C-alpha cells in the first residue's frame, strides 16, 4: 500500500539556477508531476534539453505555476526576488490553495522569511523556510542539508518531498529560524576558509611539501571539510568549485545585517567580506570561496 506522505505530488519549482535545476530533476525522477517557472525562459529550455526524459508543464508566471499545485518550491536570488514571486500581484500566494505547501530554498533574510510565514498562516498555507548547504555538487548528487523553519506540521509535510534531493533535513524552529541558521553556517564557513588560506600560504612560504603537510594536519583538530576538499585545489590555484564569492558576499551581508539588528558585531566576518570584495574587483566574483587565497601575498613562494 502506498504511503500517502510519499505519494507523487503536483510540484511547482520556481527558479532553475544551479540549485533549483538539479532539485527539479530529482523531483521529476521521484515521480512527482512538475510545473516549472523561471523569469528567464531560456533556462527552462536548457533544463528541458538536459532532462528529455522528464515531462513538465511550463508556467507563464509564479501564480500560474502555483495554480493547482500541491507543493510550490522557490529557489531565487534575494529578498526582493522572493517577495515578488511569492507576495506580488502574480505571486504564489495569489493562487496556492489553502492547505497547500510552500517551501523556500533561497538564502534570504530572516525578516522576509518571517513575513512570508505570517502571510502563509493567514492564508492557511503550510510554509517552510529551508535554506541549503552542500553547494552545487550537493544539489546535483541529491545530498543537500536543509535547515528548516516553520511549524512542525509543515516541516513534516515537506520532508517526503525534500527527501528527493536532501540527505539531512533538520527542523530548527519557528519561521525564520532556518534562515538564521544559514547565517550561522556562513559565518563559520567564512572563518574556516580564510584561516585555511592563511595556513596554506605559510606552508608555501616555508617551502614545505604540501602533500605531507596535509597528511600531517588533516587527521587532527585542524581538519575540516574545506581542508579535505580545497587544500589540493588551492595548490593548483584552481578556484572553479562550489560556492561563488558573489553568493558568499550576499550571505555575509545578511549575517552582518542580522547581527547589527541584534546589537552584535562580527569583525572577522566583516574583514573577510572586504577581502572577498577585493577579489570581486579582481574579476573573481564567480570563483569559489577558496579563492580568498588570491588576496594573500605569496612572499617566500618559489
Least confident of 122-126, 285-289, 296-300: 296-300
Check whether 222 has a pLDDT greater than 50: yes
Calpha distance 250→161 (Å, rounded): 28
The arithmetic mean of pLDDT across residues 149-157, rounded, is 98
* Cell numbers for 272: 573577510
Nearest to 234 by CA among 277, 187, 280, 198: 198
User: Which residues touch 269 (CB under 8 Å, ≥6 apart)?
Assistant: 187, 190, 191, 252, 255, 256
Give whole-number Cα distances, 77 to 105, 193, 274, 302, in Å: 10, 23, 21, 42
Q: Which band of pLDDT confidence, cut at 50, 70 and 90, is reported for residue 8?
A: confident
- Choosing from 182, 212, 250, 298, which is the catalytic residue? 182
What's the whole-number average pLDDT of the chain?
95
Sign of CA dihedral 234, 235, 240, 241: negative
The arithmetic mean of pLDDT across residues 20-43, rounded, is 96
The arithmetic mean of pLDDT across residues 112-121, rounded, is 97
Give whole-number Cα distances, 258 to 119, 149, 174, 179, 261, in Å: 21, 16, 17, 10, 5
According to the model, what pLDDT value does residue 1 have?
37
Least confident of 132-136, 197-201, 292-296: 132-136
Q: Which band of pLDDT confidence, cut at 50, 70 and 90, is reported for residue 106?
A: very high
The arithmetic mean of pLDDT across residues 180-190, rounded, is 97
Backbone angles phi, psi at 126, to 5 degrees: -75, 130
According to the model, what pLDDT value does residue 243 have?
86
Nearest to 226 by CA among 188, 267, 256: 188
Backbone angles phi, psi at 164, to 5 degrees: -65, -25
Q: Is 48 exposed, middle or buried (0-12, 13-18, 19+ CB in 10 A)?
A: middle
According to the model, what pLDDT value does residue 65 have?
98
According to the model, what pLDDT value does residue 301 have?
53
Nearest to 220 by CA among 199, 190, 243: 199
Q: Which band of pLDDT confidence, cut at 50, 70 and 90, is reported for residue 302?
A: low
The arithmetic mean of pLDDT across residues 161-177, rounded, is 97
Whether 182 is a known active-site residue: answer yes
Check whether 3 has a pLDDT greater than 60: no
The arithmetic mean of pLDDT across residues 182-208, rounded, is 97
Check whether 136 has a pLDDT greater than 90: no
Question: In the chain, what's the furthest Cα-to-Cα distance?
Answer: 68
According to the model, what pLDDT value does residue 137 have?
87
Calpha distance 27→55 (Å, rounded): 11
pTM over 0.85: yes
Q: Which band of pLDDT confidence, cut at 50, 70 and 90, is reported for residue 2?
A: very low
Check whether 56 has a pLDDT greater than 70: yes
The arithmetic mean of pLDDT across residues 149-171, rounded, is 98
User: Which residues touch 151 (CB under 8 Å, ≥6 apart)?
Assistant: 126, 127, 174, 175
Least confident of 68-72, 133-137, 197-201: 133-137
The arithmetic mean of pLDDT across residues 86-114, rounded, is 97
Check whether 299 has a pLDDT greater than 90: no
Calpha distance 253→187 (Å, rounded): 10
Amino acid at each position: 500500500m502506498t504511503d500517502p506522505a510519499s505519494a507523487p505530488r503536483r510540484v511547482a519549482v520556481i527558479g532553475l539556477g544551479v540549485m533549483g535545476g538539479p532539485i527539479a530533476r530529482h523531483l521529476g525522477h521521484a515521480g512527482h508531476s512538475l510545473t516549472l517557472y523561471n523569469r528567464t525562459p531560456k533556462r527552462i529550455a536548457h533544463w528541458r534539453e538536459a532532462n528529455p526524459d522528464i515531462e513538465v508543464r511550463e508556467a507563464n508566471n509564479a501564480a500560474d505555476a502555483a495554480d493547482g499545485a500541491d507543493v510550490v518550491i522557490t529557489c531565487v536570488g534575494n529578498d526582493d526576488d522572493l517577495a515578488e514571486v511569492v507576495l506580488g500581484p502574480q505571486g504564489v500566494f495569489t493562487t496556492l490553495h489553502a492547505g497547500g505547501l510552500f517551501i523556500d530554498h533561497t538564502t534570504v533574510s530572516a525578516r522576509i522569511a518571517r513575513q512570508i510565514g505570517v502571510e502563509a498562516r493567514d492564508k492557511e498555507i503550510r510554509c517552510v523556510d529551508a535554506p541549503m548547504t552542500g553547494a552545487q555538487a550537493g544539489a546535483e548528487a541529491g545530498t543537500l542539508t536543509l535547515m528548516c523553519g516553520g511549524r512542525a506540521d509543515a516541516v513534516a509535510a515537506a520532508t517526503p518531498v525534500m527527501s528527493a534531493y536532501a540527505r539531512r533535513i533538520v527542523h530548527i524552529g519557528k519561521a525564520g529560524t532556518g534562515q538564521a541558521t544559514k547565517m550561522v553556517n556562513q559565518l563559520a564557513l567564512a572563518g574556516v576558509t580564510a584561516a585555511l588560506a592563511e595556513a596554506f600560504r605559510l606552508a608555501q612560504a616555508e617551502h614545505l611539501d604540501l602533500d605531507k603537510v596535509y597528511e600531517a594536519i588533516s587527521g587532527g583538530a585542524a581538519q575540516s571539510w574545506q581542508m579535505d576538499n580545497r587544500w589540493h585545489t588551492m595548490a593548483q590555484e584552481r578556484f572553479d568549485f562550489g560556492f561563488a564569492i558573489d553568493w558568499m558576499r550576499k550571505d555575509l551581508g545578511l549575517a552582518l545585517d542580522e547581527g547589527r539588528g541584534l546589537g552584535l558585531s562580527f569583525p572577522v566576518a566583516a574583514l573577510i567580506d572586504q577581502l572577498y570584495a577585493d577579489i570581486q574587483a579582481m574579476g573573481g566574483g564567480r570563483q569559489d570561496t577558496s579563492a580568498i587565497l588570491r588576496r594573500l601575498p605569496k612572499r617566500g613562494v618559489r
